[in-house]
Structure 1
Amino acid sequence: MKSILKLITGITIAIVFLYTKANAQGCVAIRSTGGLCTMDEHPDSANADAGSWLFNSNNRYFRSYKHFVGTQEQKQRIALGTNVINHSYTQDLTLTRIFNNRWSFAVNVPVIDNSRSSLYEHGNKERLSTHSFGLGDIRLTAYAWLLNPAKARKGNIQVGLGLKLATGNYNYQDYFYHTAANDARTLGPVDQSIQLGDGGTGITTELNTYYNFTHKFGLYGSFYYLISPREQNGVSTARGGVPSTKAVANGSDIMSVPDQVMIRGGASYGISKFDFSAGVRYECLPVHDLVGGSNGFRRPGYIISAEPGVTYRLKSLSVYAFVPVALKRDRTQSVPDKLTTQQTGTYTQGDAAFADYAINIGITYRFK
């Protein structure tokens, strides 16, 4: 029974919840960086037998509107009405095949609906919006437990290796109004933060672990890294116009394909059919990639969040809600920023808009 419960813990939560797509909260365009994890060993969890399937539907929403340069919030942007406002909604559908108590394989398909309103993208005359909707970047991942769940009764370590495919449209276009006349519009690529994909095929690496001190109380941790070998995707950042001389000089006229990082840790406690968790979440879009170049436009930075959550479990169905709340937001200096600093002799660092929190609500269902 305990080995079955460990299988449930690992497969249902570490694979499905960690596998659900969870974008970072704002213009720092982190995609597919894992989702939710509580790492419990609740006796009422469903029996995830070998040969069964798990289906997860995760809904994520956030509104980014607060601008940061480094860790300094640009409060005047909201006061002046010049801030950018992003609304991001993602419906993630994940199907997991459980082969045995050590191996499984998951497919994640995201459907994305984004909007972005601003003044500067539309001639600074009126706040107008651009939108994107469609399929995101699909992920395929194989998972394996390093320890035999039948013997590792209190804790285990899971590794995952997969591919992030370039299925999402990374050149999604909408209309920009560069003059006061709304009929003078230009069709161009929307901002990188609301593109459906990044245009690169990446390698995903994961490490998930848990340890249960008692039947109700345990700890969990996870690490995710997306390796993106492609340096740039060829999409212009000029929104249908001509790139500026400065953008061409520092290389920010073309969108970058960045790496992505996610680290999580926390504790969970079970009461009856409820599992409550409290953790810390770190999401990062690094300045430099592990493989390939790092030139092109990106908004690097990181978010540290407190992540409370609750899960309600039935026999074959789990319903959950997680709300990561931002504690620290940092828009770091990008490669183009550094090049401009070298070229002009004046320190340059761009900004990015972040959200205060994100909302994750979803279900997990087991079937044969």
Structure 2
Amino acid sequence: MKTLHVKLFLGCILFALSFKPSTLNAQGCVAIRHFSSCVGNSLENNLLGKGDLQVGMNYRYFKSFRHFRGTEEEADRVANNTEVINHSHAWDFFLTYGISDRLYTSITIPTVINARSSLYEHGRNERNSTFSRGLADIRAGIGYWLLDPSLSPNRNIAVGLGLKLPTGNYNATDVFYNVGPEGSPEARPVDQSIQPGDGGFGFTVDFQFYQKITTGLFAYGGGFYLFNPRETNGIRTFRETLSPILENEAIMAVPDQYSVRTGLSYSLSDVISASMGARFDAVPVKDLIGGNEGFRRPGNVLSLEPGIAYMHQNFTLNLNVPLALRRDRPQSVTDRQTEISTGTPRNGDAAFADYLINFGISYRFPKSRTLEIDPSIRNTFN
């Protein structure tokens, strides 16, 4: 007789992206920094019996270079070689532990390597690059499946709470050229978009669900919201040196961030599944808690998200590639302040990516033999 966990695993593997931390990362955008749910948002969490342990790693990469003001692309930036180019690499190492068959806890240790190439940050006459790397903001949290997995194998929903710790360096510096006295090089903080950390304690709420539609076909969804109560982190942006009207953008903000996704997943075989969905990632114009002063690049991306996954026994691989459909850089609080004070319309820009690559690998270590399921539901996922 097959076990409950094996049956549920075959069901959940239909979700090709498996909601690993990387697959709920924000889409590639200068406005939207690397982040994921504190709890991990893995539908495989409902497979963890009491004492079970799951470990894994998720990798993310994007190249942002297309500039938008509002939803309009400034195509001339690329044509004139004045675009800002960010290359972002992130690795999330995570561990999830089953406290019970429904309650689980998770910790994520993220690391990043970022590179940023621009003209305007180096005197506008020549293109140079700045870099950052190291530990990002560690996240930890707890989640709970509202329905008993053994009694509800076709549908379930989980909710979670998490904490983000300011472990990442939010004052990473590098050499900027042609900006010091008499055009000399000068060490300055790198741009907000490539800082490993944001400098604030934060907390998240998240959810995830799945619903069987028919044999081999499931609907899925999930998301998180990161609350960052700290208003600014005290790190200078040097934007006020570019223009006097940017005086209100001299210090970095610590913005909120959120992501939601939904779609359909279909089992191609006992070990391979594919999915197609949509996702929406954003940094809002205003935080839900705390003030809104300081420099931020609010932005949002609507993406089409295809994916594929492979599972054999306790081993899982997954790959998804969100493709940007709509990109928007709305007017920020500081943009609006400048517009009011000068009487001239203002909407800053942000650079977005065309696509994002997410790749995840994980392994589950069961503590003991899994529970036999009732014969009436044991063939649910056949």
- Paired position in structure 2 for 1:245: 244
Find the partner of 2:353 among 347, 352, 355.
355
Shift of 1:260: 0.6
Cα RMSD (Å) of the superposition?
2.8
- Paired position in structure 1 for 2:363: 365
- Paired position in structure 2 for 1:308: 306
**1:198-244 residue CA offsets vs partner (Å, 9 max, x unmatched):** 111101100111101234110001121001100000010117x8575
Amino acid at match of 1:68: F
- Asked if the contact 1:38–1:275 (Cα under 8 Å) also holds between the matched residues in 2, the reply is no
Inter-CA distance 182–85: structure 2 relative to 1 (3 Å threshold): farther
Q: TM-score, normalization: structure 2?
A: 0.88
SS in 1 for 2:19: helix
Amino acid at match of 2:214: T
- Paired position in structure 1 for 2:25: 22
- Equivalent-residue separation in structure 1 for 2:144 and 2:13 (angstroms): 10
- Asked if the contact 2:108–2:140 (Cα under 8 Å) also holds between the matched residues in 1, the reply is yes
- Equivalent-residue separation in structure 2 for 1:96 and 1:189 (angstroms): 34
Inter-CA distance 282–23: structure 2 relative to 1 (3 Å threshold): closer
- Paired position in structure 1 for 2:292: 294
* Matched ranges for 1:151-300 at <5 A: 151-178=151-178, 184-238=184-238, 244-248=243-247, 251-272=248-269, 273-300=271-298
Shift of 1:295: 1.1
- Paired position in structure 1 for 2:379: none
**1:60-81 residue CA offsets vs partner (Å, 9 max, x unmatched):** 1110111000010000001110
Shift of 1:184: 1.9
- Asked if the contact 1:125–1:180 (Cα under 8 Å) also holds between the matched residues in 2, the reply is no
- Asked if the contact 2:160–2:207 (Cα under 8 Å) also holds between the matched residues in 1, the reply is yes
* Matched ranges for 1:60-139 at <5 A: 60-139=60-139
Shift of 1:10: 6.8
- Equivalent-residue separation in structure 2 for 1:258 and 1:14 (angstroms): 30
- Equivalent-residue separation in structure 1 for 2:30 and 2:129 (angstroms): 15
Larger deviation, residues 278-287 vs 174-183: 174-183
Shift of 1:367: 1.4
Amino acid at match of 1:201: F
**1:26-61 residue CA offsets vs partner (Å, 9 max, x unmatched):** 211333134998969xxxx99643211111211111
Shift of 1:147: 1.5
Shift of 1:267: 0.5
Amino acid at match of 2:49: D
Inter-CA distance 3–88: structure 2 relative to 1 (3 Å threshold): same
SS in 2 for 1:340: helix
Greater RCO, 1 or 2 (C-alpha within 8 Å, sep 6+): 2
* Matched ranges for 1:4-19 at <5 A: 4=5, 5-6=7-8, 17-19=19-21
Find the partner of 1:332 among 322, 330, 333.
330
Shift of 1:137: 0.6
- Asked if the contact 1:64–1:354 (Cα under 8 Å) also holds between the matched residues in 2, the reply is yes
- Equivalent-residue separation in structure 2 for 1:182 and 1:314 (angstroms): 62
**1:275-331 residue CA offsets vs partner (Å, 9 max, x unmatched):** 101000100100010000011100001000000000011111111110000000000
SS in 2 for 1:77: helix
Shift of 1:261: 1.1
Shift of 1:112: 0.0
Inter-CA distance 117–39: structure 2 relative to 1 (3 Å threshold): same
- Asked if the contact 2:27–2:322 (Cα under 8 Å) also holds between the matched residues in 1, the reply is no
- Equivalent-residue separation in structure 2 for 1:200 and 1:16 (angstroms): 29
Percent identity of paired positions between Structure 1 and Structure 2:
43
- Equivalent-residue separation in structure 1 for 2:47 and 2:200 (angstroms): 37
- Equivalent-residue separation in structure 2 for 1:189 and 1:236 (angstroms): 7
Unpaired stretches in structure 1, ≥5 consecutive residues: none
Q: TM-score, normalization: structure 1?
A: 0.91
- Asked if the contact 2:15–2:274 (Cα under 8 Å) also holds between the matched residues in 1, the reply is no
Pair 1:33-2:30 in alignment:
no
**1:231-271 residue CA offsets vs partner (Å, 9 max, x unmatched):** 000010117x85753222xx211000111111100010012
Shift of 1:13: 7.0
Amino acid at match of 2:168: G
Inter-CA distance 328–156: structure 2 relative to 1 (3 Å threshold): same
User: How many aligned positions are there?
Assistant: 361
**1:161-204 residue CA offsets vs partner (Å, 9 max, x unmatched):** 01011111011000000259999210000000100011111011
- Equivalent-residue separation in structure 1 for 2:10 and 2:49 (angstroms): 9
- Asked if the contact 1:31–1:260 (Cα under 8 Å) also holds between the matched residues in 2, the reply is no
